[in-house]
Structure 1
């Protein structure tokens, strides 16, 4: 419809010009002595129109020629940007698809565009890392070392990849640089936690676990297990003397001291240092909160001297626990062992035989037979002692 209207207008103008020119008797005379040129007005106007068109085309050609290099440069720049951005998108897609070789090749094309250098280098570094090409990965990181806008992204990526490679010390250097720049968001704290765990820097692990717990950024089971591992290492440090062990134990928060594993580790450590009274106290307080057979074994090892009030107190504790757990083999074995040490022969035999009948683990069976053999030996019953020694040996082989 628009074309039709334009044609009508064009034809109307042509008709108007033709009619107007027909009734135009004017002349134009050009004098340039000794020459004289006579032209009709219509022809003169036509020549002016032709001259205008020619001049316009000449000027337009000159301007176009002058702007051609700039347009060519802009076209080439636009093409580079389109190709670079396309390569960047391809590298990201390939990285997420797990095609790391293709991702690195696409990153090499994308890096030709200066604006893509930082992001493309990060993609290339990740792709090289996943292919086990750690030198190429480091080269990618080095290419953006002085790139301020991508510094945080580079350091966080380095931390993650170095932790994945189990290069804990290098990862911690990256974390230190991040901390210096004031970057301490949740993901950085998680990678710092893993790096310190790999480096076995347990005091730092504890600090980070507490920080992440405040932000609810760790699963409770993982948080609890990391605390256990940290306390285990701190308590088992062979460089600690008696007072240092006590100081480490009492520096542990009260809520964590109630943890079965932590209490077991502490009691075992105290026993190893000859601090049996401390070990007994730890076990007795912990068992009020939660039962654990491992604590019973430590409690046996922490038995007091024969005839002492502490040994009698241990027997009383075990008897109270027996009322609540009458079929627990570890508890029965512990009570029998303590009675044996106190030379309460009848009670010792009864409880150890009960432990033997209820026991499932071979270790409990072996220890119960050994204690019964010692009891019969002390009573001069050689045949019964030999029989239990044989049962102990059989349990050892199982």
Structure 2
């Protein structure tokens, strides 16, 4: 802006002085060695202006040439960077198309002079993994791991790939480096859930459940299903181990969980296995009288022995109350079948089948009919069961 004002002032001065110069040309004499120059002041000023303009032009050309020579040293590096950007773009497009060979090749080339080499290497590792080229994949990941900020991302990626590959031990070793805690990110926690389930490490998964619930890693339904699977597996393992492990596992459950019928049934079966049958039957009968459920009634049918006449009487006393309860009918049918009272077993299996046609119940009814010599009826019952397939 200032330069423009200066030029404007010079032009205005020139307009003001030009009439005077035209009318009074003046005289200028220059002697340089053997050369002599005689001219008017007007032409001398014009010559000076032209000389200054040429001098400025020469200066501009020299500066431009100098910059060109200076920058030419870095041209190959610039070309490589442009080529890396081009390869990265082609690799990203190939990844979108799931063209894994092309994606791996382009991303690997783009990593050489790319702006974010770790990103290219991780993409190349993904493409190699999808081609089952595990050696190249591991090489790409090892190079990407050299970037300090990418260490955790590489470790998470390696864990996921090893898990998908079926290398559970190696995946667990890599996951232990990440140390899943409440401070871990969602991808790490989800990997831990998947890997612990694959390894059936229910103890580790049980310790992780509070963190998963607190951080809402899973939806409520998914979390409830995972909790049920984990606690059920732990109770089954404890029930096969010893009484101390069973009690430890039972008290590891929360107060609300100790009221769930699935866990009560497994705990009662474990108690019965360790010669605490009376305690188990009392616990199950209490649940039956309060709110009968399939797990409780199934466990009761397994726990009660033929000698438990009193318990059976208590169950039969609830017939009027639970006459429309399918699980109640099945429980009594199994009890009579266990006592080899096939006549009563047939009656209760018929009641169960009347409430709902089920293949297993129909086959159990057919077994009772065969024991009673009703072969034709048993054959017809099995045909009816076959129609349910």
**TM-score w.r.t. structure 1 length?**
0.74
Q: How many Å separate the matches in 2 of 1:78 and 1:291?
A: 77
Q: Counterpart of 1:361?
A: 358
Change in CA separation of 1:268 and 1:324 when aligned onto 2, cut-off 3 Å: same
**Contact 2:336–2:344 (Cα < 8 Å) also in 1:** no
Q: Shift of residue 229 of structure 1?
A: 2.4
- Name the stretch that deviates more: 289-298 or 113-122: 289-298
Note if contact 2:88-2:110 (Cα within 8 Å) is conserved in structure 1.
yes
Does structure 2 conserve the Cα–Cα contact (< 8 Å) formed by 1:88 and 1:116? no
Counterpart of 1:147? 147
Alpha-carbon distance change, 283 to 366 in structure 1, aligned in 2, over 3 angstroms: farther
Task: Say whether the 8 Å CA contact 1:168–1:195 is kept in structure 2.
Answer: yes
Q: Within 2, Cα distance between the matches of 1:358 and 1:329?
A: 6
Q: Which residue matches 2:208?
A: 208
After superposition, residues 1-398 of structure 1 pair within 5 angstroms as: 20=21, 23-30=24-31, 32=33, 35=34, 37-42=36-41, 44-73=44-73, 77-179=77-179, 184-237=184-237, 240-287=241-288, 291-304=292-305, 306=307, 311-320=309-318, 322-328=319-325, 330-335=327-332, 349=343, 352-359=346-353, 360-367=357-364, 385-387=372-374, 391=378
For residue 379 of structure 1, what is the aligned residue in structure 2?
none
TM-score (normalised: structure 2): 0.76
Q: Is the 8 A contact 1:232 1:262 kept in 2?
A: yes
Give 1:302 deviation, angstroms.
1.1
**Shift of residue 393 of structure 1?**
12
Q: Aligned in 2, Cα 1:151/1:282: closer, same or farther, shift over 3 Å?
A: farther
CA distance in 2, matches of 1:71, 1:279: 88
CA 1:207/1:290 → structure 2, altered by over 3 Å: closer, same or farther? Answer: farther
Deviation at 1:240, TM superposition (A): 1.0
Cα distance change of structure 1 residues 333 and 45 upon mapping to structure 2, 3 Å threshold: closer
Work out whether residues 180 and 189 of structure 2, in 8 Å CA contact, stay in contact via their aligned partners in 1.
Answer: no
Query: Could you tell me how far 1:220 is from its partner in structure 2?
Result: 2.6
Shift in Å at residue 236 of structure 1? Answer: 2.9
CA contact (8 A) 1:372 1:388 kept: yes
Q: 1:70 to 1:342 in 2, by over 3 A?
A: same
Structure-2 separation of matches of 1:133 and 1:18: 88
Cα deviation, residue 251, structure 1: 2.2
Deviations 1:290-309 (A, max 9, x none): 64445433312211462x5x
Equivalent position of 2:3 in the other structure: none
Say whether the 8 Å CA contact 2:121–2:143 is kept in structure 1. yes
In 1: Cα distance, 2:186 partner to 2:335 partner: 51
Task: Check the 8 A contact 1:189/1:212 in 2, yes or no.
Answer: yes
Q: Displacement of 1:148 after TM fit?
A: 0.8
Q: Is the 8 A contact 1:329 1:354 kept in 2?
A: no
Alpha-carbon distance change, 51 to 342 in structure 1, aligned in 2, over 3 angstroms: closer
User: Could you tell me which residue of structure 1 aligns to residue 5 of structure 2?
Assistant: none
Mapped partners of 2:128, 2:291: distance in 1: 50
Instruction: Report how many aligned residue pairs link the two structures.
Output: 372
Specify every segment of 5 or more residues in structure 1 that has no aligned partner in the other structure, as ranges: 1-8, 375-384
| C-alpha separation in 2, matches of 1:136 and 1:15 | 81
CA distance in 2, matches of 1:183, 1:88: 33
After TM superposition, the runs of 4+ consecutive aligned structure 1 residues lying more than 6 A away are: 12-19, 339-343, 371-374
Deviation at 1:365, TM superposition (A): 4.4
Question: Per-residue displacement from partner, 1:184-220 (whole Å, max 9, x unpaired)?
Answer: 0223211111111112111121222331122222123
Q: Is the 8 A contact 2:349 2:364 kept in 1?
A: no
Indicate the SS of the match to 1:298: helix
Deviations 1:260-309 (A, max 9, x none): 44444444444555543354345335546764445433312211462x5x
Q: CA deviation at 1:159?
A: 3.0
